[in-house]
Structure 1
Amino acid sequence: MFRRERSIPLRGSAAALCNNLSVLQLPAHNLTHFGVVHGPSAQLLSAASEGVPLAQRQLHAKEGTGVSPSLITQVHWCVLPFRVLLVLTSHRGIQAVFARGIAASGHFICVGTWSGRVLVFDIPAKGPNIVLSEELAGHQTPVTDIAAEPAQGQDCMTDVVTADDSGLLCVWRSGPEFKLLTHIPGFGVPCPSVQMWQGIIAAGYGNGQVRLYEASTGTLHVQINAHARAICALDLAPNNGKLLSAAEDTFVHIWKLSRSPESDSIEVEHCHGECVPDTQVCGAQFCDPSGSSFAVTGYDLAEILRFRSV
């Protein structure tokens, strides 16, 4: 069970974008950073563990060449082995009409684009000399989301999953060059959010379903009719396999994933459901690696809602 905690006020509401919340926990400083997109700006907030806001600032996208301002499409904290970067994607970026989907993979940061290309940037240990390392061509429709985790049994390598508007998933293995491992076909429904945990891909779809696949083979393990409307965000707690799903139906659900040691199948247990009344949820993320707390944003909601297990 989870209980509502003190919310964190925003200067403006969250935009109606999928995955519109990024959370970075800094336990050593007793701080949690939050990032939320609103139009041409990103709101960055820092709060203590009890929810007291300590700092708030806004980052604005540079004006484009057109009449309308550039709109930010996502904000994401990327934790690399040697540094933490805040990455923003927007319309009219330097490499694409719009970009969406961000994930850290070792010392690389992967960014999805409208054309289906995935841009892989090589990040130096320090300094601003970021280099476009390669472009991954696996999608024919706009990329929606990207997730990554260390490869199972492979030191210094990472598995990356990319999703697109057709529901297609591509699984990649990082290295000096990225290698395409698996294609998981779509079925005509967008996949706005993906996550990875212990070689399992959790994919949330526009029809409210969550599907769990084996990353190495693309085998479908479980299909959950989780929500009545489109899923807008997924998150996985790496310490114990808790899965968070949030959707436009105003609900946030917590699920527990586990592998059966006998058959290596995936078992799913529903742990909690939380309704955010009269709110189109657009972002949700765990606030700690064990999944004992989570935060939620909603369209036209001028606060970040926080919940903690009891």
Structure 2
Amino acid sequence: MRPSPAWRQRVLRRLHDGGGSEQGARAQERRAGMFRKEKSILLKDSSLALYNNLSVLPLPTKQLTYFASVHGSTVNMVSASADGLSFSHRQLQAKEGSLGVSSSIITQASWCVLPSRVLLVLTSEKGIQMYESDGSIMVYWHSLDGMEALPGQAMFARGIAATGQRFVCVGTSSGAVLVFNIPSKGANITLSEVLEEHRAAITDIGAELCEQPPEGIADLVTADDSGVLCVWRSGEEFKWIAKIPATGCTCSSVKLWNGVVAAGYGDGQIRLYEATSGTLRAEIAAHARWICALDLAPLSGKLLSGAEDSFVQVWGLGRNLDTGDIEVEHCHTECVADTQICGACFCNPEGSAFAVTGYELSEILRYTQV
């Protein structure tokens, strides 16, 4: 699908130079259409209208890719072969507590990749569950009982990210971010710290994995319902680096790449900030409605956005070597007709393939670079 003339006029507003050039707009158009649709993956149940309701785990050594989306108290899990011809389905019915006697509504499911292990982490109204990567064994359960909810709001957990060498961070509806210390194996997982800068429910957490970030360098960003972002440096004690103020609407999805915070908002805007200072560098008029999912391909700097307007966009991020400015290029537009997008993820670190799911859509749509 080629961008319309109106799209060209609003695709990007640069803050450092006042706007993109006509030559840049033409270059963006030439790069549109670089992905083609592949065979979709059918799900046992449809996906719910939750933020970031899709997680993808590529396993190149096994020639497999895992996909997961949430429906009520169930996680739809699918493993797909590299050739896209073979699929294996599994439904994970999350159980709460060590006895596993009850279930509740799941708010998010996401794979957390650490250097020593991979965990499937689920958040819900009652607590946090951590499973081995294939969902076969629950290794840890953390109850939210005893935590204070905000006035008039039920308690739940939401927002998941792995950071540093051994930490998994999970947000809560009270605004607290729980930091779990993950051993290289076994179930001796401990709650090591609670980050309490937010005053509204956490919506999403983004992280950039690195062995040991230098002093002052951020590798974690947290977002909340009010639109506030907090930037952190992980370690034995997490250090708060910057707070990015609210812009008047919810920040529903946030990612971190190469010192750049990419945040998607309810007004359809994507805003790019310097992680260390919180300075706004660029603003993209990306969608006509609420953005529900962002993803970043770490090896290429491609940014993927999906929204309630049925559109999925691919952007290219980079830095000008001379000025240090953040540069953005529109690469591709895909319309999933009559579908409220609720999940969008790249399928590999290069960003040469991505997957999408939507509210009440009983399939995962896949696209591959031509």
Q: Distance in 2 between matches of 1:281 and 1:3?
A: 18
Question: Secondary structure of 2:61's partner?
Answer: helix
Show the counterpart of 2:265: 205
How much has 1:28 moved relative to structure 2?
1.1
Alpha-carbon spacing, 1:17–1:195, altered in 2? closer, same or farther (3 Å) = same
Matches within 5 A, 1:55-74: 55-62=88-95, 70-74=104-108
Equivalent of 1:52, from 82, 85, 98?
A: 85
Q: Which residue of 1 aligns with 2:13?
A: none
Which amino acid is the alignment partner of residue 100 of structure 1? R
Following superposition of structure 1 onto structure 2, how do residues 31-42 of structure 1 map, counting pairs within 5 Å?
31-42=64-75
Name the residue aligned to 1:104.
162
Equivalent residue for 1:292, pick from 332, 337, 352 = 352
Q: In 2 relative to 1, CA 10–150 (structure 1 residues): closer, same or farther, beyond 3 Å? A: closer
Between the aligned partners of 1:146 and 1:170, the Cα distance in structure 2 is 10
- Counterpart for residue 11 of structure 1: 44
Question: In the alignment, which residue of structure 2 is the partner of 1:144?
Answer: 203
Structure 2 residue runs without a partner (length 5+): 1-33, 128-142, 148-154
Q: Would you say the 8 A contact 1:152–1:199 is kept in 2?
A: no
Aligned match for 1:191, one of 251, 255, 271: 251
Q: Which amino acid aligns with 1:102?
A: I
Whole-angstrom CA distance in 2 between matches of 1:186 and 1:164:
9
What are the superposed Cα offsets for residues 70-94 of structure 1, whole Å, 9 maximum, x if unpaired?
A: 1000000000110000000001221
One-letter code of the match for 1:89? T
CA contact (8 A) 1:255 1:270 kept: yes
In the TM superposition, 1:166-177 aligns within 5 A as 166-177=226-237
Length-normalised TM-score, structure 2: 0.80
- Asked if 2 retains the 8 angstrom alpha-carbon contact of 1:256 and 1:271, the reply is yes
Name the residue aligned to 1:87: 121
- Cα RMSD of the aligned pairs, angstroms, is 1.7
CA contact (8 A) 1:151 1:199 kept: no
Distance 1:63 1:218, change over 3 A: closer
Task: Please give the secondary structure, in 2, of the residue aligned with 1:229.
Answer: coil
Q: 1:16 to 1:131 in 2, by over 3 A?
A: same
User: Which residues of structure 1 form unaligned runs of 5+?
Assistant: none
With over 3 angstroms needed to count, the CA separation of the structure-2 counterparts of 1:169 and 1:158, relative to structure 1, is closer
**How many corresponding residue pairs?**
307
Between the aligned partners of 1:85 and 1:31, the Cα distance in structure 2 is: 16
| CA distance, structure 2, for counterparts of residue 150 and residue 42 of structure 1 | 26
Q: Which is richer in helix?
A: 2
Give distance in 1, aligned partners of 2:310 and 2:334.
Answer: 8
Alpha carbons 2:218, 2:231 under 8 Å: kept: no
Contact 1:44 1:58 in 2 (8 A): yes
- 8 Å Cα contact 1:229/1:249 also seen in 2: yes
Pick aligned residue for 1:122 from 178, 181, 192: 181
Mean CA deviation greater in 103-112 or 150-159? 150-159
Shift in Å, 1:69: 5.3
Contact 2:213 2:233 in 1 (8 A): no
Is 2:55–2:69's contact at 8 Å kept on the other side of the alignment? yes
Q: Which runs of 4+ in 1 moved over 4 A?
A: 155-158
Q: Secondary structure at the match of 2:39?
A: strand
Q: Which amino acid aligns with 1:12?
A: D
> Which string of whole-angstrom CA distances, capped at 9 and with x for unpartnered residues, describes residues 196-215 of structure 1?
11000000000000000000
CA distance in 2, matches of 1:35, 1:155: 34
